[in-house]
Amino acid sequence: MKTISAGLASHIAGEVTTLSTCWKVTRRDSEVLGFTDHDRDLAIEGITYAAATGFTPSAVANTANLSVDNLEVEGMLAAGSVTEADILAGKYDFAEIEIFMVNHADLSQGILRLRRGWLGEVSLSGGQFIAELRGLTQLLSQSVGEIYAPSCRAALGDTRCKVNLAAHTVTGSVTAVADRQRFTDSTRTEASGLFTSGVLTFTSGTNAGLRMEVKEYTHRSGSGGTMTLALPMPYAIAVSDTYSLVKGCDKTLTTCKQRFDNVVNFRGEPHVPGLDRMLETAGTRER
């Protein structure tokens, strides 16, 4: 049940209204941004809600069941506000969103809260961003607990895996750049595949502090190692940029044993029969 002040309720019930919708975005790095579809900035509870040109939220609908409420907002990418580089850097991943409505002609009437949740998918197109908001009931659709699987459920180096990442981390620098997703380090001598699915963190340059999974690592004799990242970095990669790189883990028992000697902490069930085994008949089963 939503509660609002008597003054705002009376205004909403009137024939003519001066209502504006506001969005409050709280990123995981504690940065707070405010946006409004009004034509002027609004100062509410110590936060300035910027009048965002082209800022268009979809209709907000409430349901009586426990289905996840999704809605979208479209806006223009702009310097000093929401930028493409910040989105690609993951700064808006899982940001908390609050949507409310105010009477911009009389802010003392308070606010009408419409929705609260977290950012889901954010897509970029033609200088615009489209952000999906997932309601609080999104948490109810998440799996609680674990299910058995042939692959390991732990993350490399976490408290369950217990691998010492420092012993499996190398450093280097960029010697040639293809684009924001591919570069070469001519000093790398490790065999192809060793860093595939690993994590690369830039330690200098415009991407300093940002990390990305390695989609593929290939080595050519005399040419060094080439990294293909899972996604383009938000900023241009430059020659001499330095990085640290953790060996890749494909979460199989073989890799756990041969690369990390860590079978005792393997969090998977590779020997449990799968669905294909259970569906076998007497005539197809190997003897």
* Cα three-residue angle 143-146-152, rounded to 5 degrees: 125
**pLDDT tens column, 43-87:** 998 999 888 655 666 555 555 554 545 666 666 665 556 777 777
Domain assignment of residue 30, yes or no: yes
The average pLDDT across 276-287 equals: 64
Amino acid present at 67:
S
Domain assignment of residue 155, yes or no: no
Amino acid 68: pLDDT: 47
Residue 39 scores a pLDDT above 60: yes
Task: Please state, in angstroms and rounded to a whole number, the distance separating the CA atoms of residues 92 and 31.
Answer: 10
The average pLDDT across 249-265 equals: 95
Residue 98 scores a pLDDT above 70: yes
The mean of the pLDDT values for the chain is 83
**pLDDT tens column, 112-150:** 988 787 777 677 766 677 777 776 555 555 566 677 888
Domain assignment of residue 189, yes or no: yes
The average pLDDT across 13-29 equals: 88
Q: What's the burial of 65, exposed, middle or buried (CB within 10 Å: 0-12/13-18/19+)?
A: exposed
Amino acid present at 72:
E
Domain boundary among the residues 109, 141, 173 is at: 141
In Å, how far are 11, 61, 101, 185, 223 from 107, measured between CA atoms?
Answer: 12, 24, 10, 57, 64
The average pLDDT across 168-191 equals: 95
- 190 and 111, same domain (yes or no): no
Task: Write out the DSSP string of 24-59.
Answer: EEE-TTS-EEEEESSSS-EEETTEEEEE-TT-EEPP
- 26 and 133, same domain (yes or no): yes
pTM exceeds 0.85: no
Amino acid 136: pLDDT: 58
The fraction of the chain above a pLDDT of 90, given in percent, is: 46
- Residue pointed to by tokens 């040419």: 223
pLDDT higher at 241 or 140: 241
Domain of 242, in residue numbers: 165-265
- 184 and 128, same domain (yes or no): no
Beta partners for residue 20, in sequence order: 102
Supply 48's token pair: 């300035």
Domain assignment of residue 271, yes or no: no
Q: Are strands 169-173 and 128-135 parallel, antiparallel or unpaired?
A: unpaired
How many domains does the structure of the chain reveal?
Answer: 2
**pLDDT tens column, 192-235:** 999 999 999 999 999 999 999 999 999 998 889 999 999 899 89
pLDDT higher at 96 or 202: 202
- 131 and 10, same domain (yes or no): yes
The average pLDDT across 176-185 equals: 96
- 114 and 56, same domain (yes or no): yes
Amino acid 55: pLDDT: 60
Amino acid 57: pLDDT: 60
- 15 and 122, same domain (yes or no): yes
Dihedral (CA of 205, 211, 216, 217) sign: positive
Domain assignment of residue 1, yes or no: no
- 137 and 16, same domain (yes or no): yes
